[in-house]
């Protein structure tokens, strides 16, 4: 009987770093890991160190010329036409050894998939992963190689599995969606803030897949200022129904936590309660439909001290069934409050009284309900409802 969960982790994930002032800050991984250590909720037996992905594995998704461009950029040289690859931009600046650093992140996600498939564990996570915007031929939205898509291709190639990809990052999981847009064996479902105001601008309900894959891409674009209750209602309305119809063999989920009220880059208004509900539901569905097979990844999250560390600790607690203390340990607070630009939460879960209802709560919830109905009203799946 495989153990409950393993975390694929190495402090070298911190090499995936654009520069000091870039919002994608790998410090969040250290904050997360040290928080779990301070809570006595993770130990050496829970860990697995990843090998870097091979070039062959990266080429399962990315084009040869893009990979060559990234390798060149790793040496500090810009490829001939860097904009063709969206490299050297404000979002995706080049940095030393970017090919090696991203290959390690991809290797982490592949390792998580391997551990689950070899029966070493039921659930595995890689918080360094979840680079869901990367496209086959270019970088996008802080993402160089798309570890989630590569791992799903790998699972398809070696095990011929039906894979459910669930993305709860505040941004649309576009890179993964486009890779599998015509593939009926991979269903992608993304819950995100509507692209009307937010990067990458896609992820409308009418993006449903194409050709044989029609009906196998599902998008739930939520209103700005969506709060926990409306968010949880959407998850519960959509995910169990899709799992029931699609009957996948394995779940890959992306747990960006930029949907939190405190995140500086987006406009969703979740608290830790909404984030935890997503993790709990996905966990339940993995057992109900996939014999527990579940690979969970990180993703966005730009409030490292106040949000990412806590949300991802909650995710690990859920996967590994660890009871976490209610209060954030003093030792962690003492260490990290020193250099913090904001005061740090004392509790693992947000206090409800600190999040008063948003002014348009009812209107927003109603609009989200209509979006869910539209998203599920599809020829392929409509027989379910
Ligand atoms: Zn995001
Ligand atoms: Zn479990």
pLDDT tens-digit series, residues 321-365: 999 999 999 999 999 988 788 899 999 999 999 999 999 999 999
Catalytic option among 62, 172, 192, 255: 172
Contact 123, 286 (CB under 8 A): yes
Task: Give 241-278 as a DSSP string.
Answer: HHHHHH--SEEEEE---TTBTT-SS----B-HHHHHHH
- What would the two tokens of residue 286 be? 């993995």
**What is the whole-number distance in angstroms between the Cα of residue 33 and the centre of ligand 2?**
20
pLDDT at 377: 86
Flag residues of the chain having pLDDT under 70.
Answer: 1-3, 378-385
Q: What is the pTM of this model?
A: 0.97
Contact 109, 254 (CB under 8 A): no
**What is the whole-number distance in angstroms between the Cα of residue 302 and the centre of ligand 1?**
9
pLDDT at 82: 87
**What is the whole-number distance in angstroms between the Cα of residue 340 and the centre of ligand 2?**
34
Domain count, the chain: 1
pLDDT at 2: 58
> Can you tell me the distance from the alpha carbon of 52 to that of 18, in angstroms, rounded to the nearest whole number?
19
**What is the whole-number distance in angstroms between the Cα of residue 188 and the centre of ligand 2?**
22
Q: Is 201 left (phi over 0), alpha (psi -120 to 50) or beta?
A: left
> Can you tell me the distance from the alpha carbon of 294 to that of 315, in angstroms, rounded to the nearest whole number?
12
pLDDT at 140: 98
Residue 137 belongs to domain spanning: 3-384
Q: Which CATH number covers residue 250?
A: 3.40.800.20
> Can you tell me the distance from the alpha carbon of 152 to that of 137, in angstroms, rounded to the nearest whole number?
17
Q: Which ligand is nearest to the CA of 198?
A: 1
**What is the whole-number distance in angstroms between the Cα of residue 179 and the centre of ligand 1?**
18
Angle between helices 272-290 and 309-320 (to 10 degrees): 30
pLDDT at 279: 98
pLDDT at 1: 47
Q: Please count the CA atoms within 13 angstroms of the CA of 361 that sit on its side-chain side.
A: 11
**What is the whole-number distance in angstroms between the Cα of residue 24 and the centre of ligand 2?**
30
**Are β-strands 294-297 and 186-193 bridged in parallel, bridged antiparallel, or unpaired?**
unpaired
Q: Which ligand is nearest to the CA of 191?
A: 1
Task: Give 128-159 as a DSSP string.
Answer: T---TT--SSS-BTTBSS-HHHHHHHHHHHHH
> Can you tell me the distance from the alpha carbon of 299 to that of 380, in angstroms, rounded to the nearest whole number?
30
Whether 172 is catalytic is yes
Q: Which ligand is nearest to the CA of 282?
A: 2
Contact 52, 126 (CB under 8 A): no
pLDDT 10s digits, 174-202? 999 999 999 999 999 999 999 999 999 99
Q: Which ligand is nearest to the CA of 296?
A: 2
What's 11-58 look like in SS3?
HHHHHCCCCCCCCCCCHHHHHHHHHHHHCCCCCHHHEECCCCCCHHHH
């Amino acid at each position: 009987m495989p153990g409950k969960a393993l975390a694929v982790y190495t402090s070298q994930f911190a090499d995936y770093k654009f520069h000091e002032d870039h919002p994608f800050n790998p410090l969040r991984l250290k904050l997360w890991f040290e928080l779990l250590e301070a809570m006595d909720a993770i130990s050496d037996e829970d860990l697995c160190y990843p090998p870097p992905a091979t070039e062959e594995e990266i080429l399962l998704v990315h084009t040869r010329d893009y990979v060559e461009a990234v390798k060149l950029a790793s040496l500090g040289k810009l490829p001939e036409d860097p904009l063709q690859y969206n490299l050297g931009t404000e979002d995706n600046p080049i940095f030393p050894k970017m090919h090696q650093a991203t290959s390690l992140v991809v290797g982490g996600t592949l390792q998580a998939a391997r551990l689950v498939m070899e029966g070493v564990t039921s659930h595995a996570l890689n918080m360094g992963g979840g680079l869901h915007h990367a496209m086959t031929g270019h970088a996008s939205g802080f993402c160089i190689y798309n570890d989630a898509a590569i791992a799903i291709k790998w699972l398809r190639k070696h095990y011929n599995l039906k894979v459910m990809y669930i993305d709860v990052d505040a941004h649309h999981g576009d890179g993964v969606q486009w890779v599998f847009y015509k593939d009926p064996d991979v269903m992608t479902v993304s819950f995100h803030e509507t692209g009307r105001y937010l990067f990458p601008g896609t992820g409308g309900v009418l993006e449903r897949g194409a050709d044989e894959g029609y009906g196998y891409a599902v998008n739930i674009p939520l209103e700005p200022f969506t709060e926990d209750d409306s968010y949880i209602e959407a998850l519960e309305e959509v995910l169990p129904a899709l799992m029931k119809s699609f009957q996948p063999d394995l779940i890959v989920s992306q747990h960006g936590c930029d949907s939190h009220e405190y995140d500086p880059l987006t406009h969703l208004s979740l608290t830790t309660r909404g984030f935890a509900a997503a993790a709990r539901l996905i966990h339940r569905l993995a057992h109900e439909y996939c014999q527990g097979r579940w690979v969970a990844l990180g993703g966005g999250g730009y409030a490292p001290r106040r949000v990412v560390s806590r949300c991802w600790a909650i995710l690990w607690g859920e996967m590994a069934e660890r009871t976490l203390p209610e209060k954030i340990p003093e030792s962690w607070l003492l260490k990290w409050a020193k250099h913090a630009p904001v005061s740090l939460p004392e509790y693992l879960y947000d206090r409800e009284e600190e999040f008063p209802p948003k002014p348009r709560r009812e209107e927003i919830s109603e609009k989200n309900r209509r979006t869910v109905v539209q998203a599920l009203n599809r020829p392929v799946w409509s027989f379910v409802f």
